[in-house]
Amino acid sequence: MTRTTLHLAAVMGIGLCAAIAAAQSPAAPAVDSDQAMQQGPKGMLAIRAIQGTKGGPAVGGEEVEVIVFHREMPVKQIKGNLDDHGVLLVGDLPVGIGIRPLVRIKHAGVLYQDAAALMDAEKPGANLDITVYEVTETMPAWKVVMRHLVAEKAEGGMAVSETLVVENTSDQTWLGAPPDAANRRATVTLDLPAGATDIQLVQGFHGWCCSAYAGTKLSIQMPFMPGKMTYKFAYFVPARDGVIDLRVAAPAPVGHAAFFVPDSGLKAEPTLVKEGGSEQMGAERVTMFQSDGIAAGESVGVVLTSLASVPVQAAAGGGMSPIIWIGAGLLGVGVVAGLAMRIGKRKGAA
């Protein structure tokens, strides 16, 4: 796992310990952590904040918090401030037990986080640069780099998982739209198929404390920082009179959209997407519909008909099918992209 991936996970506050654990080298033999922290070798971390907004003021004086993790557990907390050059040196770190520091810098009211490299007795020193940005009240230019939707038959409808990659192409952090009644400000707002229920936030969110769903809109209510961010979520779309509508409106320009739907006897009516072939996935075949260069506001997707005449397998215990968690969790960007490539190659060879 790269430091960029850790940065994205840490900034959004999702799966932080898991992200750090995944990036660590294999677990070391058991040690007396207390003794190692007090008497073992010590290391030093050099933290530097970099101004990422062109023409922005020099960084210096910001509050810094360092949380030291050992085997996924926080073992030490250190607070300090950047100097006039935007630097903070943190010493006396217990590298004898093998640690990974998480660093938080608060700049212009927004928290920026990243994880340093693994530190131990053989690597007692580390450097960490964190880019911070100025804030803006004006919505920046942003886009959806890709949107992949995977649908799987479930009792009474479709269990759906989605993966989106969005990008703030500016060099400022957008604070969001005007506050709502709860004083929360929406930034990225995604359109879901009409009637979608049982929304599950999987990755990239900070829970429902910073998200909302109303009508067909799923809103992320957190500052939108420059760069790319990945969101994964899942939901259920019920069939209505044998029809299930998997079309969504593009919240911003979309670079690439792909819809993976079961092709076992269902009639698919695409909107702004073209069939790209099919591939066996698990127990059934899946057809891909895709398109590039979708304008903001356009409706894109697939409408499935004759669903009521096709037998479906009920999810254990009712509700969403277990495969939705494969789509939302394991079937991530890389796996879906690989499926798309295989489908494309087969179609090209036909």
As beta bridge partners, residue 22 has none
Q: Which residue has the higher pLDDT, 39 or 125?
A: 125
Instruction: Give the tokens for residue 116.
Output: 């340093």
Within 10 angstroms of residue 345's Cβ, the number of other Cβ atoms is 12
Whether the per-residue pLDDT at 202 is higher than 60: the answer is yes
Distance CA 73, CA 207 (A): 21
Beta strands in 272-311 (DSSP E): 274-281, 284-294, 299-305
Within 10 angstroms of residue 71's Cβ, the number of other Cβ atoms is 17
Q: What is the pLDDT of residue 53?
A: 98
Whether the per-residue pLDDT at 13 is higher than 60: the answer is no
Distance CA 147, CA 132 (A): 27
Query: CA dist 189 to 167, 192, 219, 248, 285, Å?
Result: 13, 10, 4, 12, 32
As beta bridge partners, residue 65 has 79, 104
The CA R_g of the chain, rounded to the nearest whole Å, is 23
Residues 64/79, Cβ–Cβ less than 8 Å: yes
Q: Which residue has the tokens 């190659």?
A: 345
Distance CA 151, CA 284 (A): 12
Where residue 182 falls among pLDDT bands split at 50, 70, 90?
confident
Q: What is the pLDDT of residue 284?
A: 79
Distance CA 107, CA 11 (A): 13
Q: What is the pLDDT of residue 188?
A: 97
Q: What is the mean pLDDT of residues 5-27?
A: 40
* H/E run at residue 174: strand 172-174
Q: What does the angle CA 328 – CA 332 – CA 338 come to, to the nearest 5 degrees? A: 135
pTM for the model stands at: 0.78
Phi first, then psi, for residue 131 (nearest 5°) are -90, 130
Distance CA 70, CA 80 (A): 21
Alpha helix positions (H), the chain: 3-12, 16-23, 33-39, 323-325, 333-349
Angle, helices 16-23 vs 3-12, to 10°: value is 170
Where residue 320 falls among pLDDT bands split at 50, 70, 90?
very low
Residues 18/206, Cβ–Cβ less than 8 Å: no
Q: What is the pLDDT of residue 336?
A: 52
Output the average pLDDT for the chain.
Answer: 83
Query: CA dist 316 to 39, 154, 171, 307, Å?
Result: 53, 10, 47, 20
Phi first, then psi, for residue 122 (nearest 5°) are -85, -20
Q: What is the mean pLDDT of residues 157-174?
A: 97
Q: What is the pLDDT of residue 32?
A: 58
Residues 262/236, Cβ–Cβ less than 8 Å: no
Q: How many residues does the chain have?
A: 350
List, for residues 142-155, the tens digit of each pLDDT value.
999 999 999 999 99
Q: What is the pLDDT of residue 34?
A: 67
List, for residues 42-84, the tens digit of each pLDDT value.
999 999 999 999 999 999 999 999 999 999 999 999 999 999 9
Q: What is the pLDDT of residue 338?
A: 53
Q: What is the pLDDT of residue 225?
A: 97
Q: What is the pLDDT of residue 160?
A: 98
The bridge status of strand 189-191 relative to strand 73-81 is unpaired
DSSP 49: E
Distance from the Cα of residue 66 to its chain's centroid:
23
Q: What is the pLDDT of residue 264?
A: 74
